[in-house]
Amino acid sequence: MKRSTLSKLALTLVAAFVFVGANAQDDPANYSLIASDAVTANTSYVTLDKTIPFYVTPDPTYHPTWTAFSNNLTAGFVWNFYADVSWTIGTELSLAITNNYVEITANKVGTYPINVKEQAPAAYGGCEDGTGVDFNVVVLPKPSALLTGGTNTPANNWSETTPSFDFYACGSKAAETINLSITEAGVPAALQLYAYAVKKRVVILDVNGNEQAASEVVTYPIDHTIAAKGYTTSVATGALDVLTYDWDGVGPNPATPARTLYEFTLVKATDAPGVMTEGIISAVSQKSDYLALLATPTAYTSYSFGATTVVKYLVNPTPVTGPVYHIANDWAI
């Protein structure tokens, strides 16, 4: 089959395609020809359970005044979308077709070849394009991410409350490496870009494990925003020192070595809308939210992180043995 000039993203004239949303304002700059896509020609990626839009450029002979966003189509023409023998329309993919515009919903992970042909009404001979245009829709699984603590520094000596996630030791420790694994099987390397952050929290604990709020310091050693996605698979903890703390805050008691917790948490991007739940956004999943974002600019779908999102290192001061008291040898004299 011949390859396509089908658009990668969406057309929607509000008057004709009301299902996009009554207040949606589409932007023609978002569209490009699928045949010349910079990542994979003739292929469009979508996240499972999401819907993405396409439009087919109509034949200029029969639609001489048509332009994208004009909807100036000659009445009676239809665009037929065909599946090959490997899948069935309505099962793996669902298609909602309005003239030369189609919204395709991803129902099952996989690669699905599609052929589309323009057909004239009976008044124009009723003929259908004999070749049509081919393109593929690739449905990707929903992305997920997992944070795992490391004990890669040989000089360190950790005990583990929860293996790979919760560590404790006596005395200051050298830096460790925390690993991040992101799962989105089948995504091309050029689209392996994600919005997420790793929050580092350092806080002092008392002898009972209660956090001292005044001691807390928060930083973001990884911060891939929605606006500037990235893919960082590890982060150094930095030195894991036993810090000192002034317990009464007024003196004259000096600051003393204190139990120090270093906590690393996988969190949503720092520029994520407040209404967005904790989770990861990928380049493909954000594209898959295109129609929802037209109607509501904050309608990002975040995909839940894996079961473990927190890694903790607790360093405890090494006990200092105090002086010994006894009954003085001359007590009875």
Q: Write the secondary structure of 65-103 as one string of H (helix), E (strand) and C (coil).
A: CCCCCCCCCCCCCEEEEEECCCCCECCCEEEEEECCEEE
Tens of pLDDT, residues 97-119: 999 999 999 999 999 999 999 99
pLDDT(287) > 80? yes
> Are 176 and 286 in the same domain?
yes
Supply the pLDDT for residue 14. 28
CATH number of the structural domain spanning residue 72? 2.60.40.1080
Residue 12 — very low, low, confident or very high, per pLDDT cuts 50/70/90? very low
> Are 303 and 167 in the same domain?
yes
Average pLDDT, stretch 7-34?
49
Q: Which residue segment(s) compose the domain that 219 sits in?
A: 144-316
Supply the pLDDT for residue 258. 96
Structural domains counted in the chain: 2
> Are 152 and 297 in the same domain?
yes
Tokens 């290192």 correspond to 313
Q: What is the pTM of this model?
A: 0.85
Tens of pLDDT, residues 206-259: 999 999 999 999 999 999 999 999 999 999 999 999 999 998 877 667 889 999
Can you tell me the distance from the alpha carbon of 127 to that of 305, in angstroms, rounded to the nearest whole number?
Answer: 51
Task: Report yes or no on 298 lying in a domain.
Answer: yes
> Are 225 and 245 in the same domain?
yes
What SS3 state is found at 208? Answer: coil
Question: DSSP of 283-328, one letter per residue?
Answer: HHHHHHTHHHHHH-TT-PPPB---S--EEEEEEEPPP---------
pLDDT(4) > 60? no
Supply the pLDDT for residue 29. 76
Backbone torsions φ then ψ of 43, nearest 5 degrees:
-135, 135
Average pLDDT, stretch 65-94?
93
Higher-confidence residue of 113 and 17: namely: 113
Supply the pLDDT for residue 254. 81
> Are 172 and 240 in the same domain?
yes
For the beta carbon of residue 224, count every other beta carbon within 10 angstroms.
Answer: 22
Supply the pLDDT for residue 306. 86
For Cα atoms 311, 199, 183, give the angle at the middle one, nearest 5 degrees: 70
pLDDT(178) > 80? yes
> Are 55 and 78 in the same domain?
yes
When the pLDDT of each residue in the chain is averaged and rounded to a whole number, the result is 90
Task: Report yes or no on 2 lying in a domain.
Answer: no
Supply the pLDDT for residue 3. 30
Average pLDDT, stretch 305-323?
94
For the beta carbon of residue 228, count every other beta carbon within 10 angstroms.
Answer: 11
Higher-confidence residue of 251 and 166: namely: 166
pLDDT(19) > 50? no
> Are 152 and 133 in the same domain?
no
Average pLDDT, stretch 140-155?
94
Measured torsion, CA atoms of residues 38, 81, 95, 77, in degrees rounded to the nearest 10 = 110
Residue 20 — very low, low, confident or very high, per pLDDT cuts 50/70/90? very low
> Are 108 and 169 in the same domain?
no
> Are 153 and 257 in the same domain?
yes
Average pLDDT, stretch 128-144?
97
Average pLDDT, stretch 45-68?
95
Share of the chain above pLDDT 90, in %: 84
Q: Which helix (H) or strand (E) holds 31?
A: none
Supply the pLDDT for residue 56. 94
Give me the long-range contacts of 219-222 (CB less than 8 A, separation at least 24). Answer: 220/270, 221/264, 222/180, 222/196, 222/197, 222/198
Supply the pLDDT for residue 192. 98
Residue 50 — very low, low, confident or very high, per pLDDT cuts 50/70/90? very high
